[in-house]
Amino acid sequence: MKRTRMVEKGQRSLTFTAYAVTILFAFFSLIPVLWMVSSAFKSDKDIDAYPPKWIPQIPQSIRVTLDYSGLGLMERADYEKDAMEAIWFPWMKNIRENIGEVRITGIRDGKKIFQAYTASSSFRAGQPSIVPSTLFTDQLMDRKLPMIREKKLSKFTWYGDGGSDVSGGKGVEKSELSLRFADFYGASGIIQGKVATIEEKQAWTRLFDSFISVNKIAMNAAGPLGFTKYFINSAIVTLSSVAIQLLLGGLAGYTLAHLIANKKWQFFWIMFFLATIMIPDISLLLPLYLLMKDLHLVNSLWAIILPHSAWGIIIFLFKGFFDQISKELLQAARVDGASEFRTFLQIVAPLSVPIFAAVSVLTFIPVWNEFVWPLVVNNLPKYWTFTVALNDLQNQSNAQQNMIMASSFISMIPLLVIFVFAQKYIEKGVAFSGVKG
């Protein structure tokens, strides 16, 4: 006999509506994230384009051949200066274009004498100091050439008389960007070499230069590690805060749940910890800063970590979860001679993985994203966290929109990883702790 399934009237339409609303909500929630990720790989011109462009364009590699045949004798330094002018000046003129790299090849009497190369990450990092404006002169490059060499912003390879033979070029490619470079070389009169060829090719590897640019810009303040230093600072602060919260919050919650027998005292301490939640964080900035100053901890990572050592809501969550643990089980451990600390470590902690995971995530997210307190208590770049460094990046004159999007995308990755892997424990922890939405 075939089984029949009874379906309540309207159940199917309700289920369909619930799924449709959920999918739409998820779709619209993802739009800003997808735009941020897409913009991290686009040029400023594409980011500001209307209608919006979702798919990043491949950066262009501009390849220029300069012919010095028939010119008088020139020193190697003269060729290098000419190559740098041929790279930096027209690039600054077209700074909003999607240029991934510029390669200059110098030839003389059919032989290659030098090759110069600059990637977009190096150009973005050096642009404010090398070409801060569109006023281009030989005297400007005379002053900036030593800086380019010192910071290794451009690579110059000298072949001299030992260069290989070079075949004739195809002239200037008929594309908008190539023609702009050719017009600049012809109108400025700065470049000594004669333009033999200008070609464009797609540079796939330069799609990720916005991430490299962020790191190079940060090197000026953070040292050799660049933006990685800020990432490490955030990791140290966040993981230390999580560890302290798990230890102190767990012990305090266990004490409230199982060690304080007097109901009045238990109620008093629960209300005390809950009352701390109601104090606005902004009102604690000045007292906390003065305390850290008296402890000589200003401009250190400890100044950021210590205020996160005990939160009332965390203790309350632990207490709610530990109330579910069998008192008979704990009493059996005490009868066997186990100390309270050993009981907590060997019995309570293994049974409380969900709440420990939930508290870890609930602590990780606000500490990782915190901005105001790290900004107030630290003014040395080497102690900045990721959020403070991101704010400083936005104020940099050479920071492009794609760099800000790239750094924001990097800062989001740890949060996504933590949430994805700890999701099931968060649900169990909140369910058993007695906290309702």
Query: DSSP for 283-341?
Result: GGHHHHHHHHHHTT-SSSTHHHHGGGS--HHHHHHHHHHHTTS-HHHHHHHHHTT--HH
Return the pLDDT at 104.
94
Return the pLDDT at 181.
92
What are 392's two structure tokens? 């400083």
**CA 135 to each of CA 123, 132, 355: distance values in angstroms, whole numbers, following the listed order:** 17, 9, 62
Contacts of 343 (CB under 8 A, 6+ apart): 330, 333, 334
Phi, psi (deg, nearest 5) at residue 114: -160, 165
Strands 111-119 and 60-67: unpaired
**Hey, what long-range contacts does 54-59 have (CB within 8 A, 24 or more apart)?**
56/207, 57/98, 58/98, 58/100, 58/202, 58/203, 58/204, 58/207, 59/98, 59/99, 59/100, 59/101, 59/120, 59/202, 59/203, 59/206, 59/207, 59/209
Residue 169 burial class via C-beta count within 10 angstroms: exposed 0-12, middle 13-18, buried 19 and up: middle
Identify whether the C-beta of residue 210 lies closer than 8 Å to the C-beta of residue 336: no
Coil/strand/helix, residue 425: helix
Buried b (16+ CB within 10 A) or exposed e, 187-214: eeebbbbebbbbbbeebeebbebbbbbb
Cross-strand partners of 114: 106, 158
Q: What is the 3-state secondary structure (H, E, C) of 382-418?
A: HHCCHHHHHHHHHCCCCCCHHHHHHHHHHHHHHHHHH
With a threshold of 0.85, does the pTM exceed it? no
Question: Minimal CA–CA distance to 237: which of 426, 362, 366, 416?
Answer: 366
Give residue-wise pLDDT tens across range 402-433: 888 888 888 888 888 887 777 766 666 555 55
Identify whether the C-beta of residue 383 lies closer than 8 Å to the C-beta of residue 233: yes
Cα 191 to its chain centre, rounded Å, is: 39
Cross-strand partners of 99: 60
Return the pLDDT at 157.
93
Cα 370 to its chain centre, rounded Å, is: 14
Return the pLDDT at 435.
46
59 prior amide bond cis, ω within 30: no
Strands 99-108 and 60-67: parallel
User: In one letter, which amino acid is 111?
Assistant: K
Buried b (16+ CB within 10 A) or exposed e, 128-137: eebbeeeebe
Give residue-wise pLDDT tens across range 59-101: 999 999 999 988 888 889 999 999 999 999 999 999 888 899 9
Return the pLDDT at 80.
93
Regions of the chain short of the pLDDT cut 50: 1, 434-437
What are 264's two structure tokens? 């009045």
**CA 352 to each of CA 124, 234, 324, 355: distance values in angstroms, whole numbers, following the listed order:** 50, 27, 10, 6
What are 32's two structure tokens? 């800003």
Coil/strand/helix, residue 194: strand
Return the pLDDT at 397.
66
Rounded-to-integer distance, Cα 81 and Cα 116, Å: 10
Return the pLDDT at 425.
64
Rounded-to-integer distance, Cα 80 and Cα 145, Å: 9
